[in-house]
Structure 1
């Protein structure tokens, strides 16, 4: 499996280099305009041969001739020959990414600081071998390499999943995701498939589904489901523990028929539990409060205690997927629903969840798809 991984990493890096060559032909804009972006522009010119033509400031008006405003960037957003590089080397890059997406800018036209760093690093001879050696030496002592180390030390379990996957695209996607996680590669332009949860290359939705939306968020998946089946379904059961988000969920889906709402989390035990509120739909169940003001108590429900028949289950609950599956083991074995379960929240999810589903029922076929230009939205489909 390690030999297969190394070969796939080499292929992945070749594709990245080809992609960057095309970026060199584009109009490159750095955002936001600050001391960091000025330093990054010099690095990009010296290390990559990319000349930055413009900076974009966060203010509406700017004075420098090569600095444009956000309003200017909005006007330019429809142009196919621009690439925006997010210069902040911190977690705030996702806020900037989300802003640019509201302008209608295509994902392939947005690069981030970590991607630039990765491209420069892979130009070194022996980078792959050196990086893998560094991971094994550091082990779990270095948080930077912890996810990589966990995957590499469980590579035979990953191979077990790889061997049981149903189709060529699943095996390619799974292998590439492993490589990106191991190498900490932030390029995802090569993976996304459309129609998350409703990808017809995996399975089709029937006209009488009983759909369980586990992690209902603001009702976005319910809307997609209703559109996908043209309103022809039996029922919808949705779970959302965040009280504020639950209000939005109900408001956004109240026009649809036959919906049961649970302001609760799906888990392996019915009762109260700790819940941490986070941004971007990343709120999650936690083991204790740690004196965190963002943590409160919510109600959790064991799926087997509900006594309803699902035909299709979608699950995106920020790392609590295994507990939720365990809590509805009997329901799954009895009704054999189709499932779409997210497997990207915890390092172990990428092998533990597919193997867990097969253990619950050997009848399941397993497929893997990835649905975004970031590390999020890798989904295990079971049918």
Structure 2
């Protein structure tokens, strides 16, 4: 019998969120980073009435869209005697060393709950209202380290404090390198949400270019174009890419693209979605990766037949919202009780919590 999850939680009573602390600190605000996550951070600050006085970029990529108020550290200390820094990337583990290494920084704020346009913490009230469901997932997990990852996730999301997950992110796992299963040169890999081919690139490298088949699904038109271009440019063999999404039925859904991500929504363009069982039945799928914000549960439901018959290894990102750890593990075990479930972090960021089903 494992220890209960409730005994590992350090939940705060709903108080002033971290954004209010930054608001009350009247120093200049410097956004650190200019990548995709910084887009959501910038939007979050602006919607809370916080002006960004400068953008700090250590290394500039000529291909990037560099903002007019971009500065290096030397320029920052010349303009501001003392300033706050807001982390606009996911390397929260660098905050303490950076603050200690650069004079003039009063504090580095890491808004760990910001990802893909979301920025709400998981409240103590929600966790306690659903504690039995969280406890059920906690019991389903195969190993103690996974249970520590889960409690750290809830503590981090509730307290807006990345330090809860840092101890469990140094040995980062990935889709294709983890303690639970080893990929081989006979894999039939299904990449659900293939984006521009970034995960396929990682997969091909992991198997040294030897695999049986790759199937890639990407519903967004521009990303699909990049994906197709990547496959052609690299001359990848035995790869089939499809411009559709996944669901628990064959239908049409509304879909939206922003600067950081794309996902199913209530108001957007129409895309075709299909059941994985219908599209890839008898294809011998051995490995599935799922990484997107909305529709993961429905996607898994649409793969019920394959999960029952073939029991492919799966890696699913479950750290995007408060429901991922409640609904997804339970659904996988309902479909096929033979699955073992474990959690690991891909990087020191709560949204990069991965569920391994094997």
TM-score by length of 1: 0.66
Distance 1:298 1:149 in 2: 36
Q: 2:240 aligns with which of 234, 255, 260?
A: 260
Q: Assess if the C-alpha contact under 8 Å between 1:222 and 1:253 holds in 2.
A: no
> Which residue does the alignment assign to 1:211?
189
Q: 2:160 aligns with which of 174, 179, 184?
A: 184
Q: Structure 2 matches for 1:323-334, cutoff 5 A? A: 323-334=298-309
Cα deviation digits, residues 225-278 of structure 1 (max 9, x gap): 111111111101111111111111122233221111011111111122100112
Say whether 1:315 aligns with 2:290.
yes
Distance 2:238 2:96 in 1: 39
Aligned to 1:237, the other structure's residue is in SS state strand
Q: Assess if the C-alpha contact under 8 Å between 1:151 and 1:348 holds in 2.
A: no
Distance 1:2 1:145 in 2: 25
Q: CA deviation at 1:57?
A: 4.6
Aligned to 1:9, the other structure's residue is in SS state coil
Q: 2:277 aligns with which of 304, 329, 333?
A: 304
Aligned to 1:324, the other structure's residue is in SS state helix
Q: Assess if the C-alpha contact under 8 Å between 2:56 and 2:72 holds in 1.
A: no
Distance 1:4 1:322, change over 3 A: closer
State the Cα RMSD in Å: 3.5
Query: Greater shift after overlay, 210-219 or 346-355?
Result: 346-355
> Which residue does the alignment assign to 2:134?
158
Q: Which has the larger radius of gyration?
A: 1
Q: Report which structure shows greater RCO (CA 8 Å, sep ≥6).
A: 2
Q: Assess if the C-alpha contact under 8 Å between 1:267 and 1:300 holds in 2.
A: yes
> Which residue does the alignment assign to 1:269?
249
Distance 1:285 1:253, change over 3 A: same
Distance 1:8 1:257, change over 3 A: same
Distance 1:354 1:7, change over 3 A: closer
Aligned to 1:367, the other structure's residue is in SS state strand
Q: Assess if the C-alpha contact under 8 Å between 2:343 and 2:353 holds in 1.
A: yes
Q: Assess if the C-alpha contact under 8 Å between 2:190 and 2:216 holds in 1.
A: yes
Q: Structure 2 matches for 1:184-263, cutoff 5 A? A: 184-187=160-163, 188-192=165-169, 193-254=171-232, 255=234, 256-263=236-243
Q: CA deviation at 1:3?
A: 7.3
Q: Assess if the C-alpha contact under 8 Å between 1:239 and 1:263 holds in 2.
A: yes
Q: Structure 2 matches for 1:33-72, cutoff 5 A? A: 36-38=26-28, 57-58=54-55, 70-72=71-73
Distance 1:59 1:155 in 2: 41
Distance 1:115 1:334, change over 3 A: closer
Q: CA deviation at 1:328?
A: 1.1
Say whether 1:283 aligns with 2:259.
no
Say whether 1:380 aligns with 2:355.
yes
Aligned to 2:254, the other structure's residue is in SS state strand
Aligned to 1:275, the other structure's residue is in SS state strand
Distance 1:167 1:7, change over 3 A: closer
Q: Assess if the C-alpha contact under 8 Å between 2:142 and 2:341 holds in 1.
A: yes
Distance 1:153 1:73, change over 3 A: farther
Distance 1:202 1:106 in 2: 28
> Which residue does the alignment assign to 1:86?
85
Distance 1:115 1:264, change over 3 A: closer
> Which residue does the alignment assign to 1:348?
323
TM-score by length of 2: 0.70
Distance 2:351 2:344 in 1: 11
> Which residue does the alignment assign to 1:113?
109
> Which residue does the alignment assign to 1:80?
none
Q: Assess if the C-alpha contact under 8 Å between 1:238 and 1:260 holds in 2.
A: yes
Distance 1:204 1:107, change over 3 A: farther
Distance 1:195 1:163, change over 3 A: closer
